[in-house]
Chains A and B, each alone.
Chain A
Amino acid sequence: MRKLFVPLTVVTAAMFAYAPVLIAHAAYESTMGLVQKIFYFHVPAWWAMFSGVGICGGASLVYLFKGRPKADALAASAAEVAVLFGLMGLVTGPLWGRKAWGVWWQWDAKLTIALLLELTFVAYLLVRRYGGPGSDKLAAAVGIFGTAVAPFVYEAVNIWRTIHPKTSVVPTLPPGMAGTFWFCVLAFMLLFTLLLTARVQLEYRRVALDELYLRDEDDER
């Protein structure tokens, strides 16, 4: 991954630079018009968030039951990146809703669970940061709980009555929108991979630093 990091960064930056051009040329949605184009960043941001949540949950399970420190580092990194992309989804959604629905926010099932999912992973980070020794295992449990909530966020529009567009929107996109959408999805997934890789490296260095501090304390005794 280290060898690929720089070329992938260049490719991702180029894709993000070109994305607005593609989005500007994408077909207009007949009822919503220009504001519908927020969709090209809003949906991929949530998909990246779900990827982070899934990785955090899987790595938390491995850490909790096998005790592998690398899994803990991956879980903590994925949770942080998931919060970042979740925040993007939670900010861009209301900007679209203000125009499409006439309100910034509605307390319907989809939006409320999405907010709770974000707050669950904020809680994960807070527990890790301020929980003291042993909080990594408690945080892992929070991560697994958050991951269990994620499918409900995705399926909320199909389970409950909600004003949010259904999951059938993406598979039924017309050709004038589908190409742009999948381009943006790829750009976001590349960005997610790069940020996660960088964050995992930071976590590994932190673990190395903690081990050195402990060894240093032992030497002093």
Chain B
Amino acid sequence: MRRMANGMGTTVARAVVGVLLAIGMTTQAFALQAPAGQEGFVPLDQLPPADQLPAAPLLVTAYAFIWVAVFFYVWTLWRRLGRVERDLAALGRRAPERGRGR
């Protein structure tokens, strides 16, 4: 029992260390990518023409992302629920068979 608890503790510790490392590495990666010279606020009309983006694609992308995220999540829920229901049905079929075997 104690060995099982130790094994469980090691797995949990590994998972926590893994998550912390991932957060650290992500932060570092983003920090390294930060462009230089952005310490102050630059008014929109003083930006170079290349940075004066049209707003419509950004707006459409934002709304489209939300729709895609919701539909994708609903699809994953539906798939997971289907799998669980299949397993439940399979277990339900096995129980009477075993009862007859005895």
Q: Does A175 contact B (CB under 8 A)?
A: no
Q: Please report the C-alpha to C-alpha distance between residue A99 and residue B61 in the assembled complex, in whole angstroms.
A: 13
Mark B82-96 against chain A: 1 for CB-CB distance below 8 A, else 0: 001101100110110
**Chain A residues, Cβ within 8 Å of B30:** 105, 107
- Asked whether A34 lies within 8 Å of B59 as measured between CB atoms, the reply is yes
Q: Does A26 contact B (CB under 8 A)?
A: no
**Chain A residues, Cβ within 8 Å of B95:** 216, 219
Sample of 5 further A-B pairs with CB below 8 A, known A84-B73, A102-B44: A95-B59, A101-B41, A102-B38, A132-B15, A213-B91
- Asked whether B12 lies within 8 Å of A212 as measured between CB atoms, the reply is no
- Asked whether B70 lies within 8 Å of A191 as measured between CB atoms, the reply is yes
Partner of B8, one of A95, A105, A132: A132
Mark B19-61 against chain A: 1 for CB-CB distance below 8 A, else 0: 1000100100011001100100110100100010101101101
- Asked whether B77 lies within 8 Å of A198 as measured between CB atoms, the reply is yes
Q: Does A96 contact B (CB under 8 A)?
A: yes
- Asked whether A102 lies within 8 Å of B58 as measured between CB atoms, the reply is no
Q: Please report the C-alpha to C-alpha distance between residue A119 and residue B94 in the assembled complex, in whole angstroms.
A: 41
Which residue of the partner chain B has the closest CB to A138? B12
- Can you list 10 contacts pairing A with B, beta carbon distance less than 8 Å? A20-B63, A38-B58, A99-B44, A198-B77, A202-B81, A202-B84, A209-B84, A209-B88, A216-B94, A216-B95
- Shortest B49–chain A CB gap in Å is 12
Chain B residues with a Cβ closer than 8 Å to the other chain, count: 48
Q: Please report the C-alpha to C-alpha distance between residue A134 and residue B58 in the assembled complex, in whole angstroms.
A: 44
Determine the main DSSP class of B at the interface with A.
Answer: helix
- Asked whether B66 lies within 8 Å of A88 as measured between CB atoms, the reply is yes
Partner of A38, one of B62, B87, B91: B62
**Chain A residues, Cβ within 8 Å of B66:** 41, 45, 88, 92
Partner of A127, one of B12, B61, B85, B88: B12
Partner of B80, one of A35, A38, A100, A202: A202
**Residues in chain B within 8 A of chain A (CB atoms):** 4-5, 7-8, 11-12, 15-16, 18-19, 23, 26, 30-31, 34-35, 38, 41-42, 44, 47, 51, 53, 55-56, 58-59, 61-63, 65-66, 69-70, 73-74, 77, 80-81, 84-85, 87-88, 91-92, 94-95, 98
- Shortest A11–chain B CB gap in Å is 15
**Chain B residues, Cβ within 8 Å of A122:** 19
Mark A117-144 against chain B: 1 for CB-CB distance below 8 A, else 0: 0010011001100111111001000000
- Asked whether A131 lies within 8 Å of B15 as measured between CB atoms, the reply is yes
**Chain B residues, Cβ within 8 Å of A158:** none
- Asked whether A205 lies within 8 Å of B15 as measured between CB atoms, the reply is no
- Asked whether B77 lies within 8 Å of A134 as measured between CB atoms, the reply is no
- Shortest A127–chain B CB gap in Å is 5
- Asked whether A99 lies within 8 Å of B19 as measured between CB atoms, the reply is no
**Chain A residues, Cβ within 8 Å of B85:** 205
- Asked whether B84 lies within 8 Å of A126 as measured between CB atoms, the reply is no
Mark A199-211 against chain B: 1 for CB-CB distance below 8 A, else 0: 1011001101100
